[in-house]
Amino acid sequence: MDNYTNNNTAKRYRAHVSILGTTQIHLRNPYIIAWWSAAFPGFGHMILSKYLRGFTLFIWEVIINLKANVNLSMIYSFQGNIDMAKEVLDTRWLLIYIPVYIFAIWDSYRTTVDMNNVYMLAEHENHPFNTFSIGALEINYLDKRNPVLSFLWSLFMPGLGQLYIHRIVTAFFVIIWTVAFFYFSHALEAISLLFLGEVQQATSIIKPEWLLFFPSLYGFAVFDSYINTVENNKLYEKVQRSFLTKNYQNPNFQILKGHKVE
């Protein structure tokens, strides 16, 4: 059986290569995934390639956060203005925010544990999967890329690191929301004014409730692109090793264990 062919007969597959990206399961630390869900609901699921769940929780976080003034309350807390922080919170929205926020953390942790178990079973089956996909709009194939470049492109603009490793779904979603955050926060206008020395005007036009989304967004973009580049490289090496062993290694070849020299 060709090591590059997915004949859809296995119960579990380690990876799938399509024109939209390379999706794979591998061992992950459930605490790290849960932490990303705590940093921004939806990110933990997106790292796991659970896109529909991740996008739903992400959009929910943006809408409810702004309605409840959570980010604005955090800004006042950072400034030591606790009374104002409590005053701006809208409890009508806040009480909706809390249970879904906790669910996002719990569900991402639970899903990671389940997927780690599935990975161990898929690794044991070691079933072949497709490594090349071509369509009318795109071509995608499994190969090695530089994790440092993924890191750097994500720093320049969130989503570019995902584009570099052909993680199209995540890249499209992250880029769209990055543009929205830049627009509504007036961050680029404020930066331009800072270069002109207009510090007071730059401070006055900034929208902190939108600006506070950026640390989590940039952190996720960098982490997700870097980790997926590393894991894709590992998967590529594993597939190549299997292909070369099957097609070029002498079936009688054995590695004999040496005797320990006293």
Residue extents of the structural domains in the chain: 1-142, 144-238
Residue scoring higher pLDDT (79 or 147): 147
Section 30-46 average pLDDT = 96
Tell me the per-residue pLDDT of 43-85, one tens digit each, with 9 for 90 and over. 999 999 999 999 999 999 999 999 999 998 998 898 888 889 8
pLDDT band per the 50, 70, 90 thresholds, residue 3: very low
Three-state DSSP state, 213: coil
How many whole angstroms separate alpha carbon 16 and alpha carbon 134? 13
pLDDT at 245 over 80: no
Quote the Cα angle for 16-18-23, to 5°.
40
H or E stretch covering 131: none
The predicted model gives 135-147 an average pLDDT of 91
Q: State residue 1's pLDDT score.
A: 39
Q: What is the pLDDT of residue 91?
A: 87
Residue written as tokens 């249970």? 99
Instruction: Tell me the average pLDDT across 200-213.
Output: 91
Give me the helix-helix angle, 70-78 and 51-68, nearest 10°.
60
- % of the chain exceeding 70 in pLDDT: 93
Q: What is the pLDDT of residue 242?
A: 81
Averaged pLDDT score across all residues of the chain: 89
Q: What is the pTM of this model?
A: 0.87
Higher pLDDT, 101 or 254: 101
Using DSSP bridges, classify how beta strands 132-134 and 139-141 pair: parallel, antiparallel or unpaired: antiparallel
Residue 251 gets which letter from DSSP? T
Tens-place pLDDT, residues 79-117: 888 889 889 998 889 889 999 999 999 999 999 999 999
Determine what percent of the chain is predicted with pLDDT higher than 90.
Answer: 63
| Cα–Cα dist 159/146, whole Å | 16
pLDDT at 2 over 50: no
Q: What are the angstrom distances between the C-alpha of 231 and each of 27, 43, 161?
A: 10, 18, 14
Q: Is the dihedral of CA 99, 51, 35, 61 positive or negative?
A: negative
> Of 11-15, 74-78, 117-121, 206-210, where does mean pLDDT reach its minimum?
11-15
Judge whether residue 206 has pLDDT over 70.
Answer: yes
